[in-house]
Structure 1
Amino acid sequence: MELLSPREAAAFALSLLDLTNLRDDCDAAAIAALCARAQTPNGHSAAICIWPRFVAQARGILGSDHPVRIATVVNFPSGDLPVETVVAETRQAIADGADEIDLVIPYKAFLAGDEAAVTAMVTAVRAACPEACLKVILETGEIRDSGKIRRASELAIEAGADFIKTSTGKVSVNATLEAADIMLQAIRDSRRKVGFKPAGGISTVADADLYLRLAETIMGANWLMPSTFRFGASSLLDDILNVIAGAPSSRVSSGY
């Protein structure tokens, strides 16, 4: 990545941001506020990421063909739902206006040795949303083992993921540079056009810059764009706007 000024780096991070509200107390007013926050005088976020029950409301606010895409989550956050239930969630989300589906793999089954469960889930959801962007959440902070993170990445890619994503933001360990390194190498080695999304705990432009530089080191120059890289975050926007306004990036990270 060419050397960017702090303001340029912040503006670039904004273009890659899935501005997220997956709080348990989220309500209609919060969704309206999120849609407004995603559109700033300095540019817009790539997407908003919200609970399925709010997709229709967000589509009503943003209208059709809006540059801010609507992402929602399925099999979230536990990863434990039956395939048919997750497929139904997915179809309803698409009907309500979702552009992107963030799917949690059955990571507990995977950790118990059931790789087929991952393949079956991703394959079924891929078939249920053939035109949508499918981001597959591995929950790397629960998988932990580097070899297993690599294998989960491979399974998701082979089953049709458009992106692989680190985390739900709902467990104690979310995005880490170590997991990002493993996942990005799996993408590179697959030779497929698959994106990467670190999520959870990335709240400053300084944090974001570390992930961007790692991705460029592994994937090469000019790979970074909204179609191949996203940040999942709720508080990163605050630091982005502060840096664009001329303040230094905070060095203190918070949660999702």
Structure 2
Amino acid sequence: MSESKNEQRLTHEEAARLALQCLDLTSLNDGDTEADIERLCLRAQSPFGAVAAVCVWPRFVALARRLLPAEIQVAAVADFPDGALDVPRALADVAAIAQAGGNEVDVVLPYKALIAGQQTEVAEFLAEVRHASRPLTLKVIIESGELATPELIAQATRLALMAGADFVKTSTGKSRVSATPEAAAMMLQEIAASGLPAAGFKASGGIRSVEDARVYLELAAAKLGREALQPRRLRFGASGLLDAIEAQLRGEGTQRSNAAY
């Protein structure tokens, strides 16, 4: 579904409110501690409303689930961040997340294997992860900045959708190039072309300002329709974006930043 350019335009306040409700507030630092996750969970309950989810390492899922109200989802990463073609490792991560009470799994597609031409192996990996992760929400990270060509980005998106992914996500935030509007447009086009009415998109990495978020919100509206601007279809993975959202909603304006989170 597409809409006119004027219908896609959002004010900064509209963008801030939508980004807040679609935010996966993230902490995936190597040195994360329980205290860090406790602070993250407090931040997730913003005075302007709750975020959609927090995203953490599997070892912190139980803690986050205990600290958060039921309406905030707990997501954790699998096969992260390198995206090895290692089914046992990915399934172990999924099992740990599920057993600890997690709601969502963000798994890295084996993008190096895809680049090497191992499409069948990647499809089998994704099928195994999808089977093991049900009924949890599954987001497949394609690491779009490493795929380098529109054809590979489109192929990775199609493989994720064919495997039953609930969301296709741009990036781990750990690579040199994270989310870009160009990659997002390609991914959103593939989601629209799939005909899957519930399939969603997640932009992650380098999104730190309301203006950054607005770009992806308007792209999603153009490709999927304005009704897709809700947490069931759209997410942002970020740690610093919440500060900018709250500043905007306090009336302090916004500053554009392209720094990676």
TM (normalized to structure 1)? 0.96
Shift of the 5–108 alpha-carbon distance from structure 1 to 2, 3 Å rule, reads closer
Aligned to 1:179: 183
Aligned to 2:4: none
Aligned to 1:148: 152
Which residue of 12, 37, 43 maps to 1:6? Answer: 12
Aligned to 1:25: 31
* 1:167 alignment partner AA: S
* 2:260 alignment partner AA: G
Single out whichever of 16-25 and 218-227 deviates more from structure 2: 218-227
TM (normalized to structure 2)? 0.94
Contact 2:9–2:218 (8 Å) recurs in 1: no
| Identical-pair percentage | 46
- 1:15 aligns to 2:40 (yes or no): no
* 1:205 alignment partner AA: V
Q: Distance in 2 between matches of 1:6 and 1:139?
A: 28
Which residue of 212, 218, 227 maps to 1:222? Answer: 227
Aligned to 2:123: 119
Aligned to 1:164: 168
CA deviation after TM superposition for structure 1 residue 160, in Å: 0.9
Moved over 3 A (4+): 1-5
CA deviation after TM superposition for structure 1 residue 32, in Å: 0.2
Structure 2 counterparts to residues 1-256 of structure 1, below 5 A? 1=7, 4-62=10-68, 66-80=70-84, 82-192=86-196, 193-256=198-261
Q: Distance in 2 between matches of 1:115 and 1:85?
A: 19
Contact 1:106–1:117 (8 Å) recurs in 2: no
* 2:100 alignment partner AA: D
Shift of the 123–13 alpha-carbon distance from structure 1 to 2, 3 Å rule, reads same
Single out whichever of 116-125 and 106-115 deviates more from structure 2: 116-125
Aligned residues: 254
Contact 1:166–1:179 (8 Å) recurs in 2: yes
CA deviation after TM superposition for structure 1 residue 11, in Å: 1.6
Q: What per-residue deviation string (whole Å, max 9, x for no partner) do you get for residues 66-95 of structure 1?
A: 111000000000011520221121011101
Contact 1:52–1:93 (8 Å) recurs in 2: yes
Q: Distance in 1 between matches of 2:114 and 2:254?
A: 38
Single out whichever of 54-63 and 31-40 deviates more from structure 2: 54-63
Q: What per-residue deviation string (whole Å, max 9, x for no partner) do you get for residues 112-163 of structure 1?
A: 0000122111111111111110000000100011001101110110011100
Unaligned 5+ segments in structure 1 are none
